[in-house]
Amino acid sequence: MLLVNQIREQHDQVLAGLKKRNLANINETIDQVLALDDLRKSSQAQRDQLQAEANGIAKQIGQLMKEGKSAEASVIKERTAEIKQQIKELDDINAQAEGDLKALLYTIPNVPHTSVPSGKSAEDNEVVLTHGEIPTLFEGKLPHWDLIKKYDIIDFDLGIKITGAGFPVYKGKGARIQRALINFFLDEAMAAGYMEVQPPILVNEDSGYGTGQLPDKEGQMYHATADNLYLIPTAEVPITNLYRDVILNESDLPVKNVGYTPCFRREAGSWGAHVRGLNRLHQFDKVEIVQITHPDQSYEALESMSAYVQGLLQKLELPYRVLRLCGGDMGFTSALTYDMEVFSAAQERWLEVSSVSNFETYQTNRLKLRFRGEDKKTQLAHSLNGSALALPRIVAAILENNQTEDGILMPKVLHPYLGFDRI
């Protein structure tokens, strides 16, 4: 969440940035934040003043009792009782203001970076670069939802039978493609200096609030109500929360972690061709990279992570483009996001396969994730994460773009992982 000092000291910049998100009544919300902070500070100041008075009276009473002036001490004690009541009332005011302030801050998204373009929807995103040639397929090309039936490698009907829509069953070479991609992505990340972790796929409420999925995306997450645990929408949540309430040494930065997990999304999208097949699922596999960095180095890290993800797409021989998301299409917690999209030659459209984001201090403020510099002072770190990569649309693009009349060719980089070169 945003820092109150940031809102107060950079008031105009904060408002200008948030207006890129097309938020209604944001001026009034920011005014409320500052008013609650003023109330919290004033009640605390009054409390401190009264406590100082009480401490002084306590010393005075002690001195009077030593001098045998108990009657005078009793008179003064009456003021002590008044002060205690006033302090209690101020504590209640302070606690209410603190709670209201925190709840209000939870509703305010991150301030977009100055480079983020204004806009209301995906149509306003900025194309940063395009790479690779779009393949020309033979007449009679098939979308992946027909290819998987033709070659019997992924079965949606079995998934519906077992669970419901959006939970496919991967079979035979379809399952091996999943495993091959996961291992390839993990190996590449470790070669790039990321440490692999295998986190839980259920998280508690504190973890959801720590990375900003709660309360913003509560309706999109599967909730195990008996234990008040949530199935993760992305490995970002448990991996970043490894560092909740942690003070790192500056020499430890950057921290680079990678993890594979299944991911779960309740709200997987509307009906239509754009969400058919593997395009939008309730359960899917993803390899996630996370970095914790020094604030001065986070945007350099973001560019490095973007280049790394692009390198994966190049090795998979997939044509792709990079988008800088506009204010109206950015995630709630992000300050700057790059989306990577691959071109699906059978569907003849771009499919998002990765988002790489810098959250600056938005998550670390919630997480109380800090680092200690050489001067022994602590400050909030910056957090970043990226999909490297999400599997479903990668699989869809591989199947569609590499189809021939005689089968589907597999990217060369996957041959050692697959044990076969074609379906």
Binding site residue list for ATP: 265-267, 352-355
Q: Find, among 307, 258, 297, 324, the residue nearest to 382 by Cα.
A: 297
Distance, C-alpha 193 to centroid of its chain: 21
Calpha distance 58→69 (Å, rounded): 14
**338-369 burial by CB neighbour count: b if 16+ within 10 A, else e?**
bbbbbbbbbbeebbebbbbbbbbbbbbbbbeb
| Residue 93: how many other CB atoms lie within 10 Å | 17
Provide the annotated binding site for L-serine. 234, 265, 288, 385
Cα dihedral: 363, 368, 370, 376 (round 10):
150
Cα 149 from Cα 6, distance rounded (Å): 54
The answer for residues whose C-beta is within 8 angstroms of residue 61's C-beta and 6 or more apart is 73, 76, 77, 80
CA–CA separation, 131 and 284 (whole Å): 26
Residue environment code for 154-191, b if the CB has 16+ CB neighbours within 10 A, otherwise e: bbbeebeeeeeebbbbbeebbebbbebbbebbbebbee
The residue among 245, 256, 157, 185 whose CA lies nearest residue 209 is 245
- The torsion of the CA quartet 311, 317, 323, 329, rounded to 10 degrees, works out to -110
Contact by Cβ (8 Å): 399, 147: yes
Binding-site annotation: residue ranges: 234, 265-267, 288, 352-355, 385
